[in-house]
Structure 1
Amino acid sequence: MSDVAAGARPGHGEPAERPGQPAEPVAGPPGETPDPDAPADAQAADGDGRKVRKQRPFWKELPLLIVVALVLALLIKTFLVQAFSIPSDSMQNTLQRGDRVLVDKLTPWFGGEPERGEVVVFHDPDNWLAGEPTPESNVVQDFLSFIGLMPSSKEKDLIKRTIAVGGDTVECTKGGPVEVNGKALVEPYIFPGDSACDDKPFGPFKVPEGKIWVMGDHRQNSWDSRYHTEDATKGFVPVEDVVGRAVVVAWPINRWATLPVPDTFDQPGIGVAAGLAPGALGVAGALPLVLWRRRRLTSGRTAG
């Protein structure tokens, strides 16, 4: 069906134009009024003779898009997530040499500290990597590492599992399991055939506040906290040196997996320091009430 409004005759709802009388300008939709200050080459006429702004070619906008993308990548690397490459076998079989892991860097910014069982990346606390060769890199890799699109080959960081945190007591005797606050850990993540600590028994050690005790999952191939008890840090890693928690194995694709906290760290009683806190607070809160009640009873007997 045709649009009859477009062919309406004079005298049927719309006045006819008189000969010689100029036509009144037709008001266009809001927002389409041409900018009188715009340069001539930025405007073009549409079908009704109105001028509209030309759209910029994509190649002119591409540099700006690239800059925005690089800035966003740099912000994400700095504050949110960063990729790291696994250079050794110390975390087998949880992590294999060459794996790429994504590390959560946001939580530490809000004051979050490592928890037992988490796999964490941390800066070398006291020359743990002394003598280890630094992999060679090129300009492209260095740039991509700077913006967080590739792991850095120059940063000397380590990745281990957090076994104990500040306030915990940790130990392991030859032939026995690792114990945290007197609770034996069942560690299914240990490399098959390895013992819990037969190559290097340790403890008992009390972890200072603001420090963590770390161990590799491949116990017989990991120079972790056990081997640095004579260093300045006594084998403990300062929380301030922790970059973040490794949460996902992102590459290669066939090894994609999350890195959850094992159930053995959730067993009742393992958090002795945290478990005593509510009781201590309860005693502290009840003590003034008890003293006040005793004072009233004593004064009542004296008055009588």
Structure 2
Amino acid sequence: MDTEAELTQRGHSSPGPGEGRPRFALWGRRALPGWRDLLTVRGAAALGVLCTAFLLLISNFVVQPFKIPSRSMEPTLQVGDRVLVNKLAYRFGDRPKRGDVVVFDGRGSFVREGAEGDPIGGALRGAASALGIGEPSETDFVKRVVGVGGDDVVCCDAGGRLKVNGVAVEEPYVYPGDAPSAVPFRIVVPLGTLWVMGDHRSQSRDSRDHLGEPGGGMVPVEKVIGRADWIGWPASRWGSTPAHPRGPAGPAASAAPAPALPATPAVPTAPGGSSGGGHG
């Protein structure tokens, strides 16, 4: 009887090899943290994917970062600036105005329409550009609107200034020392299009450089991606894009109908109309 009691007590209180607490402790102390680590990695990856998708969604429909790659918009925009392009600016019936700084797709106006390259590489570059961490697309441009549909734009008057609908335009945003244009021209902007120029006129390839090409340097309004409203980077340049004056002598001074002139430019005095540039 005593032997049976002793064996019974030992059976309840003393686990044998490979049983009970040692096995539970091994699983609890070593295996469980591994599963937690795995879940943490998966959670972080999922969060990263969701954040990236959210940023791409915002970039596609609301605000898109755009890196300035050239000197064509100095001094307003500097090389390396990241501007935030307001994609809602013209989405609800408003249209680009004289003086607006816009980003647009130049295919069919500034660059030739053509087949895209590697679709996967293009998609990756497009995503990086949309997030503001890569170079902008070679077909995207940033310029200032000088003339809208129906405007008669002339360069230059006796004082060396542009004239829009017969009114001389004061352009304080033009790069110091630059003339409004080294190439004389007179153009009537067709309805539904824009005449655009860079602020650094001697370093900007803009509408002047495409006068003799199909489309005559005009940018269709539907090709405008958005308005460059803010400078988001570097931090020292945070703020809204400097606006042009809206006074009597400013670009928006005259809303008079354009005269009935042929939409053909004068012969330029220098080939190309400007030097340097790039697509910034």
The aligned counterpart of 1:128 is 110
Partner Cα distance (1:163, 1:216) in 2:
9
Q: Check if 1:217 corresponds to 2:218.
A: no
Of the candidates 232, 235, 254, which is equivalent to residue 214 of structure 2? 232
Unaligned 5+ segments in structure 2 are 1-38, 113-120, 259-280
User: CA offsets, 1:6-32, max 9 Å, x none?
Assistant: xxxxxxxxxxxxxxxxxxxxxxxxxxx
CA shift for structure 1 position 265: 6.4
Unaligned 5+ segments in structure 1 are 1-56, 131-137, 275-304
CA shift for structure 1 position 86: 1.1
The aligned counterpart of 1:271 is 255
CA shift for structure 1 position 154: 3.7
Q: 1:68 to 1:265 in 2, by over 3 A?
A: farther
The aligned counterpart of 2:185 is 202
The aligned counterpart of 1:83 is 65
Relative to structure 2, which stretch is displaced further, 120-129 or 165-174? 120-129
**Larger RCO: Structure 1 or Structure 2 (Cα < 8 Å, ≥ 6 residues apart)?**
2
The aligned counterpart of 1:168 is 151
Relative to structure 2, which stretch is displaced further, 212-221 or 138-147? 138-147
The aligned counterpart of 1:191 is 175
* SS state at 1:62 partner: helix
**Counterpart residue type for residue 98 of structure 1:** G
Aligned-pair RMSD on alpha carbons?
2.9
Relative to structure 2, which stretch is displaced further, 66-75 or 222-231? 66-75
The aligned counterpart of 1:262 is 244
CA shift for structure 1 position 112: 2.9
**Counterpart residue type for residue 198 of structure 2:** G
Relative to structure 2, which stretch is displaced further, 258-267 or 103-112? 258-267
Partner Cα distance (2:195, 2:153) in 1:
8
CA shift for structure 1 position 84: 0.9
CA shift for structure 1 position 67: 3.1
Q: 1:233 to 1:266 in 2, by over 3 A?
A: farther
Q: 1:146 to 1:229 in 2, by over 3 A?
A: closer
Partner Cα distance (2:123, 2:111) in 1:
25
The aligned counterpart of 1:108 is 90
Q: Write out aligned runs for 1:1-304 (5 A).
A: 61-126=43-108, 128=110, 142=125, 145=128, 148-173=131-156, 176-197=160-181, 199-203=182-186, 205-264=187-246, 267=249, 269-273=253-257
| Runs of at least 4 residues off by over 6 Å | 138-141
Contact conserved, 1:125 with 1:238, CA < 8 A, in 2? no
Number of aligned residues: 210
Identity %: 42
**Counterpart residue type for residue 162 of structure 2:** V
**Counterpart residue type for residue 192 of structure 1:** P
Structure of higher CA gyration radius: 1
User: CA offsets, 1:205-241, max 9 Å, x none?
Assistant: 2211110110111111112111211111111111111
**Counterpart residue type for residue 186 of structure 1:** E
**Counterpart residue type for residue 70 of structure 2:** S
Query: What's the TM-score once normalised by structure 1's chain length?
Result: 0.61
Q: 1:158 to 1:129 in 2, by over 3 A?
A: same
CA shift for structure 1 position 119: 0.5
User: CA offsets, 1:58-112, max 9 Å, x none?
Assistant: 6564344333322211110110011111111111111111111110112333343
* SS state at 1:66 partner: helix
Query: What's the TM-score once normalised by structure 2's chain length?
Result: 0.66
CA shift for structure 1 position 143: 7.5
Partner Cα distance (1:229, 1:149) in 2:
32
